[in-house]
Structure 1
Amino acid sequence: MYALVLDGELKSALTAVRSLGRAGRKVSVGSTRGSAMAGFSRFSSDHFVYPDPKIDQDKFVAHIIKAAKRFPEPPVLFTFSDATYLTVFAYRKELMEHCLIVLPEMNAVTKAFDKAETYTLARMLGIPTVTEYEYDPASVVSFPVVVKPKTSVSWATGEGKYGTAEIVFDAASYLAAAEAVEAQTGQSPIVQEFIMGSEYGVECLAFEGEVSKVFVHKRIRSQSPRGGAATVKTTVLNDPHMVAMVSHSKKLIAELAWTGPIMVEWKFDTKEGVAKLMEINGRFWGSLPLPERVGVQFVLGYDVLARGFAAPKSRPIRPLTTQHFLGDVRWLWRVMTANDPLRAELYPHRLLALGSFLKTTLSVPGDVWSVTDPLPFFMEYIDVIKKYL
């Protein structure tokens, strides 16, 4: 049996390659860069370079079809970024002739990947969301606020661009952030209240709205104290807010009739004492190494689902914390050097941060490092260096 794993530069893709390889799948890894770490795993049979889907979707799809045709039977196709997922979805008819893919309906994808649509759906279902302000350049809002695009990646200007959320503290920064979003996406931004609190992810695998696997993690650290990709995360087993978050997540997934992997992100509002919906990731997520390591087999679950079988049962979940070392180095650098108006609220003391980083590095397993598959760990650094040279 065969698998085609895209976004080979990401740690989630590397996790999938290892899980699939251990299960006996022959795995081919693709990326926009030949140095992508997942392609150097001992579980990768080969790796190839494809055009960036943000720049040329037609050529990207042509390369994926060419790669799939090398196998004697259709491979299961795995994507790990919004750019690849949304391109695969847009060209699903052509790709399904050569690959095994399970996807939700168009309406569900729109509601999951457009944050404005997501929040509208959540409010309709009675699910708590962060307070929103209607964007108006002349309006007065209570700072700080978060300004972000409706979609993480947009092809509105012809070339796909990723947008980012900005925390702003004054009218000038507010207008600048909003104008940047409009220039990137051609749409008005979403403006939300900035709330303090812990962040959680409810990770699921579903078929037509029915959840077959669920796992909850709590984010300990991100690449920046302001947010971003999780670098240290831990299993959630007995958190008092877990039941509500899982229940609300399942309600959203059922309403979407979602098929495939999906993660619902939450933030616990310490002021109001309630978990509020942040966004939906309608694809495999960056913290995938944690559930796979504790035996929640999302990757194999999707693989067998794409082949038309029932997902395998997961082992009992055990407590575990994992670290993405390179991402955590970035967190430490920002803590040590950033001049941020939110330093008092979001940043730990520098010496405490250094101690926590060292303790984590010495005591918890890494997302990328593996004694039996070490080369991707070193290739991640080479790939990052080549990317920025």
Structure 2
Amino acid sequence: MYNFLLIEAEYRKVLPVIRHIGKSGYGVYAISLNRFSIGGSSKYVKKNYFMRDLELQTVLNIIDKNKIDIVIPCNEKSVRFLSKHIDKFETTIVTPNIDSFELCEDKLRTLQLAESLNIRIPKTHYFHNLAELNENLDKIDFSPAVLKPRKSSGSRGIIYVKSKDEILGVLNNDYIEKFGMPLVQEYIPQDGESIGVSFLYYKSNKIMEFCHKRIRQYPPTGGPSTLAVSIYDEEAIKIGEKLLNALKWNGLAMVEFKRDPTTKELVLMEVNPRMWGTIGLALFSGADFIRAIVEVFLKNNLNLNYPKYNEGYYFRWFFPGDILSIIKSQDLSFLKKLKSLLFDKHKPVSYQILDGSDLLPVLNTILFSIFRKS
């Protein structure tokens, strides 16, 4: 039996992974940077270690004490930590090299790489300071626009403006101190499909892929999926492969696109260089990334054929994500909101948090939201 260590297990996206690993008969250990860990509180975790910050020798001691066979980072901080110290570990680590990770973490550099590969990106401007932005405001030839931090995840720091004249009004010193100068991008309308293509790579070789389409998100203007469905999109897969091949990728990643509703072209939004938020949908649909990690990273079996995953399977982050997404939607009437909350028609569906046999993570979901910095 192999023993897994998942780092940054406090996030809700990690919970379906932990449950899947445990149900597959493997040992699960966790490191969490929040006392109210959602993934770390699962009954499938043999031991959850709370750390205020990642410290190399402590992590090495945990690996040695529990005879860990493989380590999976679950968010940016742990990916950076493991990639930076990769030469200090004797056990198997599922992580990219630090240069590839840092390029993907920087949205501007990611877009520049994509453009060099003839991948369509949103029209984008970057200015180093407010004075430069003010001097070049006339060069922004699109509206509405989106302001995005060069380095962030989820919806943090994203601002939508109806015209370029609003940009200087919404950017202030507090924003710049927190996020730095943002990218100024053309807005791809919400009625264009949001498609994510997720991959497992091993030493620059693609092992497995999975596609999903976002149905609802929170906030409704743009954020993580609250309801998603498994699909197959060959075009998105090919573009994602081209990008990750150029990066000589290793480990997990998701490439995110919006489909331009006018031209029907896929437009690259970003690359998430880590475990993605809807990995539970992949596992539920039959794309067994955990099995693939075991076969490739631990057994060096590169020639295994994996069965095709199921399309039309749904995954729901019901509480509080999908509830808030529905309530705050401006496109649904009161009756449609009520129907979506009480009589959701999307089936078969797997819930990210809810599991009657594993209830402590439900409580920790609430506590984690309240004491996020604890």
TM-score scaled by structure 2?
0.87
Instruction: Pick which of 222-231 and 315-324 moved more.
Output: 315-324
Tell whether 2:162 aligns with 1:169. Answer: yes
Matching residue within 33, 47, 69 for 2:64: 69
Instruction: Pick which of 260-269 and 356-365 moved more.
Output: 356-365
- TM-superposed CA distance for 1:303, in Å, is 3.9
Tell whether 2:364 aligns with 1:379. Answer: yes
Q: Tell me the SS of whatever aligns to 2:307.
A: coil
AA aligned to 1:147 is L
Q: Is the 8 A contact 1:130 1:278 kept in 2?
A: yes
Inter-partner Cα distance in structure 2 for 1:362 and 1:169: 34
TM-score scaled by structure 1?
0.84
Q: Residues 327-348 of structure 1: CA distance to partner in whole angstroms, max 9, x if unpaired?
A: 112213433xxxxxxx5xxx43
Inter-partner Cα distance in structure 1 for 2:229 and 2:124: 29
Matching residue within 253, 257, 263 for 2:244: 253
Q: Tell me the SS of whatever aligns to 1:37.
A: coil
Matching residue within 181, 191, 195 for 2:184: 191
- TM-superposed CA distance for 1:247, in Å, is 1.0
Q: Is the 8 A contact 1:37 1:379 kept in 2?
A: yes
Q: Is the 8 A contact 1:199 1:265 kept in 2?
A: yes
- Indicate the residue corresponding to 2:220 in structure 1: 225
- TM-superposed CA distance for 1:280, in Å, is 0.3
- TM-superposed CA distance for 1:60, in Å, is 3.5
Q: Tell me the SS of whatever aligns to 2:59.
A: helix
- Indicate the residue corresponding to 2:230 in structure 1: 235
Sequence identity (%)? 22
Matching residue within 254, 258, 265 for 1:274: 265
Seen in structure 2, the aligned counterparts of structure 1 residues 365 and 107 have a Cα distance that, compared at 3 Å, is: closer
- TM-superposed CA distance for 1:178, in Å, is 6.8
- TM-superposed CA distance for 1:108, in Å, is 2.0
- Indicate the residue corresponding to 2:48 in structure 1: 47
Seen in structure 2, the aligned counterparts of structure 1 residues 223 and 3 have a Cα distance that, compared at 3 Å, is: same
Segments of structure 2 that go 5 or more residues without pairing to the other structure are 128-132
AA aligned to 2:159 is E
Q: Residues 88-124 of structure 1: CA distance to partner in whole angstroms, max 9, x if unpaired?
A: 2223233x14x42143333322322211111111111
Q: Is the 8 A contact 2:72 2:95 kept in 1?
A: no
- Indicate the residue corresponding to 1:80 in structure 2: 74
Inter-partner Cα distance in structure 1 for 2:337 and 2:197: 27
Segments of structure 1 that go 5 or more residues without pairing to the other structure are 53-58, 154-161, 336-342
Seen in structure 2, the aligned counterparts of structure 1 residues 292 and 183 have a Cα distance that, compared at 3 Å, is: same
The equivalences for 1:96-245 within 5 A come to 96-97=89-90, 99-135=91-127, 136-138=133-135, 139-140=137-138, 141=140, 142-152=142-152, 163-170=156-163, 171-177=165-171, 179-180=173-174, 182-186=176-180, 188-196=181-189, 197-237=192-232, 242-245=233-236
Seen in structure 2, the aligned counterparts of structure 1 residues 133 and 303 have a Cα distance that, compared at 3 Å, is: same
Inter-partner Cα distance in structure 1 for 2:268 and 2:96: 21
Tell whether 2:4 aligns with 1:10. Answer: no
- TM-superposed CA distance for 1:313, in Å, is 4.4
- Indicate the residue corresponding to 1:321 in structure 2: 314
Tell whether 2:322 aligns with 1:355. Answer: no
Seen in structure 2, the aligned counterparts of structure 1 residues 359 and 116 have a Cα distance that, compared at 3 Å, is: same
Inter-partner Cα distance in structure 1 for 2:346 and 2:148: 36
- TM-superposed CA distance for 1:207, in Å, is 1.8
Q: Tell me the SS of whatever aligns to 2:223.
A: strand
- Indicate the residue corresponding to 1:31 in structure 2: 32
- TM-superposed CA distance for 1:125, in Å, is 1.0
- TM-superposed CA distance for 1:244, in Å, is 1.6
- TM-superposed CA distance for 1:181, in Å, is 5.2
Seen in structure 2, the aligned counterparts of structure 1 residues 126 and 304 have a Cα distance that, compared at 3 Å, is: same
- TM-superposed CA distance for 1:219, in Å, is 0.2
Q: Residues 236-266 of structure 1: CA distance to partner in whole angstroms, max 9, x if unpaired?
A: 13xxxx2221111111111111111111000
The CA RMSD over aligned residues, in Å, is: 2.6
Inter-partner Cα distance in structure 2 for 1:361 and 1:371: 21
Q: Is the 8 A contact 1:261 1:298 kept in 2?
A: no
Aligned residues: 358
Q: Tell me the SS of whatever aligns to 2:146.
A: strand
- TM-superposed CA distance for 1:180, in Å, is 4.8
